[in-house]
Amino acid sequence: MKAVAALLAGLMFGAGLAFSGMLDSARVLGFLDVAGAWDPRLAFVLAGAVAVSAIGYAVARRMPHPVLAERFEIPAARPIDGRLLGGAALFGVGWGLAGFCPGPAIAAISLGLPKALSFLAAMLVGMGLYAAPWKFLFWNAGTSTQTPASSSALPLD
């Protein structure tokens, strides 16, 4: 049942991206071009997403547990640090250069767009490089009790 719910949620997410035009990288780049021909439509999509998320969190606070799980998986608040700011900047630069971020790119491959396919390939290469065996060079063992061998991601703080 969880797999069916996940599939339906993914289909709804992809349909929302398609309906809002966010699979069109030119529209995204138009939103990011604040000094040129700025296209404000993405701002309305983002505002709608924040509103839906706020409603979801409000409903979740009133529920004892999710319908298909034992407990809610809500991440704990973390301080804003250099890693977060650096990652956000890198994400923004990539988004601005390509006009895609992971969600819309994955949805856009259903259209067979070459730009989406090349973005997805580059994203997978980047993920592979992140998980490469040499990542221990960047490991700060004092920040977490996890070890590189037992963790699938670097600690966030």
Total residues belonging to the chain: 157
Digit-coded pLDDT (tens) for 74-117: 788 889 999 889 889 988 888 888 888 888 888 888 888 888 89
CB 108 within 8 Å of CB 20: no
How many CB atoms within 10 Å of residue 6? 11
pTM comes to 0.65
CA–CA distance from 18 to each of 12, 54, 88 (Å)? 10, 22, 24
Residue 157 scores a pLDDT above 70: no
Q: Which two tokens stand for residue 156?
A: 């966030």
Residue 7 scores a pLDDT above 80: yes
Tell me which amino acid residue 76 is. Answer: A
Residue 28 scores a pLDDT above 90: no
Digit-coded pLDDT (tens) for 134-149: 665 555 544 444 444 4
Q: Which residues of 20-32 are buried (b: 16+ CB within 10 A; e: fewer)?
A: bebbbbebbbbbb
CA distance 105 to 95: 10
Domain ranges of the chain: 2-143
